[in-house]
Amino acid sequence: MSGTQLTYVVIGVGVVALLVGFQMRTRPLRENSSTRLTLILAVIGIVEVYNAAKGHTLGTTTVAWTVGSLIVGGAPRADRPLHAPAGSQGPGSKPHPRHCWAA
């Protein structure tokens, strides 16, 4: 391995290490981005289910269970604006009396 190739390998490993480090850092999830994240994950899930089901015949029972699980999974998120106040509580403050445990 020549010196130039070694330099490229070291730079590549450094870039990967930085990317992994940034991705592993915990960051708070802002309230306005949680809906976007939910939609992104839902689209990814639907695409993955579609790709997994290609070439297979799905019965009505399978489709009903899938739709039911999506409804059950999305119900707490859809119900959240009705029970949780907008914004976060400050440190040391009491929880809102209408907070839903699933929110």
Domains of the chain: total = 1
pLDDT tens sequence across 4-32:
899 999 999 999 999 998 888 887 766 66
pLDDT tens, residue by residue, 63-91: 899 888 878 877 776 666 555 555 555 55
89 near 96, Cβ under 8 Å? Answer: yes
Q: Is the pTM of this model over 0.95?
A: no
Query: 50 lies in a domain?
Result: no
Nearest residue to 74 via CA among 45, 94, 99: 45
Q: Is residue 13 part of a domain?
A: no
Q: What is the C-alpha separation between 101 and 103, in angstroms, rounded?
A: 6
Residue 70 in domain:
yes
Alpha carbons 42 and 39: distance in angstroms, whole number:
5
DSSP class of residue 94 equals P
Domain around 63: 57-82
In this predicted structure, what is the pLDDT of residue 103? 45
